Amino acid sequence: MSSQRTTRKYKVYLYVYDLSYGAMNNLSSYILGCNVDGLWHSSIVIYNTECYFSNQTGMSGSRPGRYNKGMKPSRKIYMGLTEIKPNVFIEYIKGIEHRYRSIDYSLTRYNCNTFSNELCQFLLGKEIPDYIKNICTEVLSTPTGQEIRPVVEFCQDIADGCQNLLEMLNNN
């Protein structure tokens, strides 16, 4: 009798949080001139770990549903099955951690959705949905977004400068 060896498969989920708590859905058409369902933060859940990237912690992991003091995800999107083993994933994470430090975070250019998209591509060979991945581009391309873009980028620059200063002080 021949023995068949099956490869273990692991479920991959995209957890999506609305950081506006519904305000974008209710107010975006008035403020931006188009409907935006939410201000999306995303993370990848794999191996019973929620993996995310933030301006406070950089690349992090926690038990699923523990992000942001237990904030509940607005959506849990099943992305597929991967055959990538946990030890291979950990090596991959170690290889990219230098690009996902808190100091690298940018609200408009390099954020949680960038990170989730990269992990999804590694694990499954596909990207996260465009409406999540492109939320900042979508908001900033509206007439109001164009008006507030310099303010948002200025605030981001100040936050980056403060983060750099804190990191420098912590290293001395």
Q: Kindly indicate the confidence band of residue 143, based on its pLDDT and cuts at 50, 70 and 90.
A: low
Q: Domain containing 117 — which CATH number?
A: 3.90.1720.30
Q: Can you read off the two tokens belonging to residue 41?
A: 């933060």
Residue for token pair 């989920």: 13
Name every residue whose Cβ is closer than 8 Å to that of residue 157 and which is 6 or more positions away in sequence. Answer: none
- φ, ψ of residue 80 to 5 degrees: the values are 145, -170
**Which of 51, 112, 120, 136 is an active site residue?**
112
- pLDDT for the residue numbered 42: 93
Is residue 2 assigned to a domain?
Answer: no
Is residue 5 assigned to a domain?
Answer: no
Q: Kindly indicate the confidence band of residue 134, based on its pLDDT and cuts at 50, 70 and 90.
A: confident
Q: Kindly indicate the confidence band of residue 128, based on its pLDDT and cuts at 50, 70 and 90.
A: very high
Residue ranges making up the domain that contains 58: 10-171
CB distance 80 to 30 below 8 Å: no
- pLDDT for the residue numbered 68: 72
| Stretch (H or E) spanning 55 | none
Catalytic residue list contains 155: no
How many other CB atoms are found less than 10 A from the CB of residue 58? Answer: 17
Higher-scoring residue by pLDDT: 157, 108: 108
DSSP state of 130: H
**Which of 41, 51, 120, 136 is an active site residue?**
41
Q: Kindly indicate the confidence band of residue 39, based on its pLDDT and cuts at 50, 70 and 90.
A: confident
Whole-number percent of the chain with pLDDT over 90: 43
Is residue 121 assigned to a domain?
Answer: yes
The mean per-residue pLDDT over the stretch 142-169 comes to 59
Is residue 3 assigned to a domain?
Answer: no
Count of domains forming the chain: 1
Is residue 122 assigned to a domain?
Answer: yes
- pLDDT for the residue numbered 80: 98
Catalytic residue list contains 41: yes
Residue 118 has pLDDT above 80, yes or no: yes
CB distance 42 to 116 below 8 Å: yes
Is residue 1 assigned to a domain?
Answer: no
Residue 123 has pLDDT above 80, yes or no: yes
